[in-house]
Chains A and B, each alone.
Chain A
Amino acid sequence: GKLLSSDVTHYVIPDWKVVQDYLEILEFPEMKGIIFMQTACQSVQHQRGRRQYNKLRSLLKDARHDCILFANEFQECCYLPRERGEAVEKWQTRSIYNAAVWYYHHCGDRMPIVMVTEDAEAIQQYGSETQGVFVISFKDYLDNFWPDLRAAHELCESILQSRRERESESQEGRGREYAEHLPLEVLEAGIKSGRYVQGTLNVNKHRAQIEAFVRLQGASSKDSGLASDILIHGVKARNRAIHGDVVVVELLPKGEWKGRTGALCDNDSEDKASGEAPSDPMPTGRVVGILQKNWRDYVVTFPSKEEIQSQGKNAQKILVTPWDYRIPKIRISTQQAEALQDFRVIVRIDSWESTSLYPNGHFVRVLGRIGDLEGEIATILVENSISVAPFSEAQLCETPVNTPEKPWQVSAEEKRTRRDLRRTHLVFSIDPKGCEDVDDALSVRTLTNGDLELGVHIADVTHFVAPNSYIDVEARTRATTYYLADRRYDMLPPALSADLCSLLGGVDRYAVSVMWQLDKTSYEIKTVWYGRTIIRSAYKLFYEAAQELLARNFGIADEIPEFKNLDEKSRQTRLEELAWAIGRLTDIARHVRAKRDRCGALELEGMEVRVQLDDKKNIHDLIPKQPLEVHETVAECMILANHWVAKKIWESFPHQALLRQHPPPHQEFFAELRECAAAKGFSIDTRSNKALADSLDKAEDPSDPMVNWLLRSMATQAMSNALYFSTGSCAEEEFHHYGLALDKYTHFTSPIRRYSDIVVHRLLMAAISKEKKMEIKENLLSNKDLEELCRHINNRNRAAQHSQKQSTELFQCMYFKDKDPETEERCVADGVIYSIRTNGVLVFIPRFGIKGAAYLKNKDGLVMSCGPDRCLEWKPGSLQRFQDKITSTTTGGESVTLRLFDHVTVRISVQASRCHSDTIRLELVSNRPHEVPSSERSQPSPLLLRSDLVREVTRCAEEAQLAQDVAADAIQEEYPEYRQTKGRSLYALLEEIRDLALLDVSGDCGI
């Protein structure tokens, strides 16, 4: 297990009460040498519930925290039986003290021990009993030992204060605001008997005050015979449950069922009863109990000065507004309210009594100023529970050194055990221009018997990252590299990701290789070899160059650095050699792809289009305008490698292999797609992946490429997410990957930026040793641990996608923020209608990749009508909604009809919000396509413009910061670097986009 570090001045033993109440402070990384007594842990388990106990457990497990558990009750000398009539609390304190004394003597009286307790009697009684064992209160401890740790002091204050509040409140005992939760036994019995149902609470982002849905969990949905989610209408019925909690719901009688509203609405207009009739009633219920609270840290904003005054009488308690709409306001008590006015702040919820309208919380720390780029980015990170502290000293120490004075070399021992491909194989990598972290390289050659040998070589990250090393623990926590709009947070330290693991050209590198022997004509796979190798990549090509070579256009050679200093003759032969290899690879890839297509691989080939058009991903400057065949070649090789590795590890470890599944989508989700397509006269067959792909190909409107694109994006939205899973917890039929049409698939090819790949590498290594009947060095994760890890990785991937999306939105808003929508030309753009609602339409703006709602009826009840110059203006009238169109008729009889896929002109403006993120607002200007002035049309490409967007916002932020603070230079210099290294292999990109496309993004269109 863990050992306490030797450089601490004392050991600290917290009493049970301290562990229960101040665990957050003990979690500070500065706190060192903590010994948790078993007695204290058990008191947490029994009195504080699973959540806090799990927190304590993960703290103990985390190698980065300097704390251990001492099982004092299992130790002969430390165990004290409880005396007759002794209170449990007293006994616990006595036991802990006794163990502390024993521990002190056990360490040879050398290390002073501090026991911190909240029990004044104990301090009195034990304070001077044993020399070397000090008993003091937690407050004194912080004051004496950590006078400089301001954050801890503040946190301690705020915890104390909120506790005092709670006590005084419970004494008051005012009238009930909510019904009491039922006791756990009643809930469990109710769930078993079918009286109640259990599920996760999801609050509707757009109607946080009114609507919440409970998604049923597994078995209970089958038993109760409910097809849909359960609607929880209103805050009272929600009964103190917070978004994400696992709740128990009682269904209301059918007469009281309500429908969800289909109208678009703003968040701030709270329960403004919209006049229209809601849709069909759906099962409605009320929360009777909470099984598991999923509270996390929340970013909040303090009310502005005026509001504080209006809140009036007890200025100590302040209602703060969370950044996330779905979270209710939180009441905290602090004196710092005024000082913190303009900041984003983290708070934690402590409790929510039935007597209180809002939950009680306490202040934790300040993030940054509102509206400040760094502060807002930090907000996004916290809201997605992403923690990206810089790599610590200990972690960096684990990376091998590679400096010009002390270059890293292939060690003799590795040379013996690895297969050396440096002389025998022509290995090269194809990546976007300027890419630094190359995780994959390719090779192909003819064997003596005429067969071909195809090789995929992946950076051997696991060689450098030992299981449970500091780097490994950190990488596992991060699980993936996070890409935000303007920056990235690496999973591995840069020394590994950009240097030692990166398969750069002309240097020796360790790799894990998969090599197939293929038949020379039919390209059938004959044998496959997996293993560790040493390679030296001969060429680090970029896509365009490879494409030119494929077309045997050797003029490109001047741009490839490796060919610079060669004489004409050897240059020619080498070019021939390389071009042959690329040609062969392409042949093989075509063949493999065709085979996969026959099985029904989903051709979401709109991929390239999507990348170009969808700003959300912010990666256009990497994507060439024309999709090249080389892209597909590389991608196909990677898919092939992933597939074969998946097969291998599954065969070797049928119950503990990490694979990736993509479950087939639910047919009902395709309804909207089918309706939309029908509006344009296309029919979409969604019965199988092959049929879907074919019919999507056919649904092409020659006059408007956007139609096909939108249909494809709807199709991807309807699909389920691809997920990692452990093979032990799933039936074999469920392994299938729907999108790729493969029976087994995993992620193997990007270990530098995905933790799942590292796990797969370890599995593959273990599989190889198992095959050779060697001892398996890697201690593999059991099915249960792996399943937990998969859940964590999936969860982190989702967080990464959300944070990426939110950061892009942040940049969009910042871009449009200081532009006057009335005058600025760029704020008017062309949009496509992709969905019809009762009071407006959803519009997609290809140029900026923005999706949003545009209203046809405003708050005063006026509707859009068509003016003389085909411009739209507000007039009194009514709206009528049809399946595929919406008509607004004014009282004067004029009418405008908007149909699906109509092009309209919209004006973009930013709706500023103090407490939440700013949002983009769209306003219809004309029902005709926007006419672009010819000057703008001549711009090289709209893509460039969008990457400019990020650049410009970043620059503005930089300038603002420069003005404020000149010392911040270091950060700014990294911006160009970030931009550059974002380029990775195209395959990786495609994979990422595939993931992104599969992400449920329906939330952002006001439904």
Chain B
Amino acid sequence: MAGLELLSDQGYRVDGRRAGELRKIQARMGVFAQADGSAYIEQGNTKALAVVYGPHEIRGSRSRALPDRALVNCQYSSATFSTGERKRRPHGDRKSCEMGLQLRQTFEAAILTQLHPRSQIDIYVQVLQADGGTYAACVNAATLAVLDAGIPMRDFVCACSAGFVDGTALADLSHVEEAAGGPQLALALLPASGQIALLEMDARLHEDHLEWVLEAAAQAARDVHTLLDRVVRQHVHEASIMLGD
């Protein structure tokens, strides 16, 4: 009867997390042998798969080639079964295009594109299950995939969402929290330098609160970084064992 209480008096969120707590992150790199780089990530119930090809020659029209840097091409799609109601178009709709653009901006800022002039890097991301924070999951998956492909980057790109409920900033929103309609902010961070690769918010939030929400998102992104770093090290460790070092 009563409305959903996103943050209880005791400071718990609907799924039992505290305000700044992340969902459980599990990730693997190198899930596909054929692609140059690939990764799979689970953030809570949000699951995303990223595949990277490149750098390679420009496919299609040559005119798209850039003389001084590589072209980053991103494509986002979500599986028809990823949401509560079956999606009609898995990709190519407006939302997917926008997401693709955002990913592209993010990774153009992170990848050292000037090392590969007149070539192309393809990043394909697919969301298998969407339970809030799809952008963040995509970025994190893609980071791992790019690392797996061995493409030089300035730094990890770690993304996380944050929202604002009852005067408190919540990190890493789940689908229930997103659906409640409060402001939501997506942040992609280069954790070592603290530079922001992308910051996006399309709801109204009072200027005074922005600082808190931003800080919550940044902290969450730094937490994501430690986790991803562990995954990468683990992967490298395993790979070196395979190679027989």
Contacts and interface: CB of A to CB of B under 8 A. Distances in A.
Contacts of A57: 9
Given A1-B10, A69-B10, A50 B16 contact: no
Given A655-B208, A782-B167, A784-B166, A60 B2 contact: no
Identify whether the interface residues of A are mostly helix, strand, loop, or mixed: helix
A827 to B, nearest CB: 55
A74 B9 contact: no
A71 B2 contact: no
A880 B5 CA distance: 61
Interface string A776-795: 00000011110000000000
B16 A49 contact: no
A49 B208 contact: no
A37 to B, nearest CB: 12
Contacts of A71: 8, 10, 12, 16
B1 interface: yes
A320 B167 CA distance: 45
Contact of A74 (B1, B5, B16, B167): B16
A73 B13 CA distance: 12
A878 interface: no
Contacts of A53: 2
Given A1-B10, A71-B16, A49 B167 contact: no
A782 B166 CA distance: 9
Nearest to A782: B167
A654 to B, nearest CB: 8
Contacts of B167: 782-785
A45 interface: yes
A184 B5 CA distance: 18
17 contacts: A46-B2, A47-B1, A48-B1, A49-B1, A49-B2, A50-B1, A50-B2, A53-B2, A60-B9, A71-B12, A74-B12, A74-B16, A655-B208, A782-B167, A784-B166, A784-B167, A785-B167
Nearest to A1: B10
Interface string B180-206: 000000000000000000000000001
Interface of B is mostly: loop
Interface of B: 1-2, 5, 8-10, 12, 16, 166-167, 206, 208
Q: Name, among A57, A60, A74, A655, the residue most crowded by chain B CB atoms within 10 Å (CB to CB).
A: A74
Contact of B1 (A1, A46, A73, A784): A46
Given A53-B2, A783-B167, A785-B167, 14 more contacts: A1-B10, A45-B1, A45-B2, A47-B1, A49-B1, A49-B2, A50-B1, A50-B2, A60-B9, A69-B10, A74-B12, A74-B16, A782-B167, A784-B167
A69 B10 CA distance: 8
Interface string A1-38: 10000000000000000000000000000000000000
Nearest to B10: A69
A785 B9 CA distance: 13
A595 interface: no
A61 interface: yes
A718 B8 CA distance: 43
A425 to B, nearest CB: 39
A57 B16 CA distance: 18
Interface string A870-913: 00000000000000000000000000000000000000000000
Nearest to B206: A655
Nearest to A781: B167
Contacts of B1: 45-50, 184
Interface in A36-66: 45-50, 53, 57, 60-61
A60 B9 CA distance: 9
A52 to B, nearest CB: 10
B208 to A, nearest CB: 6
Nearest to A50: B2
Interface-central residue, A46, A48, A71, by most chain B CB under 10 Å: A71
B12 A61 contact: no
